[in-house]
Amino acid sequence: TTVDFDEFIAVLGPALIDPDEEEMTTVFQEAGFKGAGVDARFFGETHDPHGPHVFSSFIELESEDGATSALGWLETDAMKPCPNSCATRVSSFGVDGIPDARGVHRIATAEDIEAAGTESEQPSDSYWVGFTVGSVVYVMELHGPPGGSVSEEQAQEIASAYYDRLTGN
């Protein structure tokens, strides 16, 4: 966790798809950055560094409007194609049971990578869910290898449990 804006920007940038650093800085300054944190957890029985993981983060801002603005910016970044050539297919999905939540699915299979000629890319499958509670943006990403290691249903369940814990439901 951090309350230092420069540290936040330095850590956030590499975690995003294709952020414009000046725009990112402006968005979070105007939203009134107060603090942020991130957590990563293995999702499964036996740890495997290439297996499914759940990443969760929060960004506390000065207002609900600031949180909504920041969430919109984060969703736009999550929907971007890779900055160079990549084989990742991107789509959005609806998130049940969480008001105004947004979902993004990103997948690159070995076949996609071979067809795109981007062998330096690794196969991956991820489900990103973002939502706000008051003046805080919450993001959960379920990430793993393609082929059924992670699913939209699992992402929905994890995001709903996260939301329920935060709101006391």
What confidence score (pLDDT) does residue 71 get? Answer: 98
In this predicted structure, the answer to whether residue 134 has a pLDDT above a threshold of 90 is yes
In this predicted structure, the answer to whether residue 84 has a pLDDT above a threshold of 90 is no
pLDDT tens for 2-24 read: 999 999 999 999 999 999 999 99
42 neighbors 30 (Cβ within 8 angstroms): no
Cα within 13 Å of Cα(34), Cβ side: 12
- Among 1, 76, 77, smallest CA distance to 33 is for 1
119 neighbors 87 (Cβ within 8 angstroms): no
What confidence score (pLDDT) does residue 141 get? Answer: 97
Average pLDDT over residues 120-140: 95
In this predicted structure, the answer to whether residue 85 has a pLDDT above a threshold of 70 is no
- Among 103, 86, 75, smallest CA distance to 19 is for 75
What tokens does 124 get?
């991956």
| DSSP 3-state of 43 | coil
pLDDT tens for 97-120 read: 999 999 999 999 999 999 988 878
Q: How confident is the model at residue 158 (pLDDT cuts 50, 70, 90)?
A: very high
What confidence score (pLDDT) does residue 43 get? Answer: 77
The region that residue 100 occupies, defined by phi over 0 for left and psi between -120 and 50 for alpha, beta otherwise, is left
pLDDT tens for 25-76 read: 999 999 999 999 999 999 778 888 889 999 999 999 999 999 999 999 999 9
142 vs 122, which has greater pLDDT?
142
Average pLDDT over residues 120-136: 95
What confidence score (pLDDT) does residue 50 get? Answer: 84
pTM of the model: 0.94
| DSSP 3-state of 100 | coil
